Amino acid sequence: MKHGLGTATTWAYRAQPGERIHIAGPSSSRSLPEGADWLLIAGDDTATPAIARFLEDLPADARGQVFLEVAEESHVYDLRELPNMEVTWLPRNGVSAEASTFLADAVAAADWQGGQCFAWLAGGAVRGP
């Protein structure tokens, strides 16, 4: 059964047989897979508490990028700062969550770092380009 459109759904539709993927649910979302060199973390308003917790749990030498889409500038707040984790806030400022492609666009334009990536994506109303 196929479900709506969004970043994760689009990614799943594009996955090819034989590609290696990791899927984690709430019970295993606290640990990183062995061999991950860097992290790509992205989410909308609904995921900001989980992303904040995720950053708190990371080792100090974690490397990667974080993208958070929120309704407005006033929803941006301080997160744990790690020297090798770049955090980018994406306030919609009047654009509806259903119409926004800010998060999908930011992830698509992200600098892909070398080595093995672990991607953690979450959201309630994320649309792709």
CATH code (residue 44): 3.40.50.80
- Work out the number of other CB atoms within 10 angstroms of the CB of residue 56: 9
| Domain count of the fold of the chain | 1
Q: Which of 30-44, 58-72, 103-117 has the lowest mean pLDDT?
A: 30-44
Residue 85 forms part of a structural domain: yes
d(CA 71, CA 91): 6
Contact 123, 47 (CB under 8 A): yes
Is residue 3 domain-resident?
A: no
- 68 in a structural domain: yes
Whole domain around residue 42: which residue ranges? 36-122
User: What's residue 82's pLDDT?
Assistant: 95
Paired sense of beta strands 64-70 and 38-43, if any:
parallel
Quote the pLDDT of residue 19.
Answer: 80
* 75 within some domain: yes
Banded pLDDT at 124 (limits 50, 70, 90):
confident
Contact 67, 42 (CB under 8 A): yes
In eight-state DSSP terms, residue 75 is G
Tens digits of residue pLDDT in 9-30:
777 778 888 887 766 555 545 5
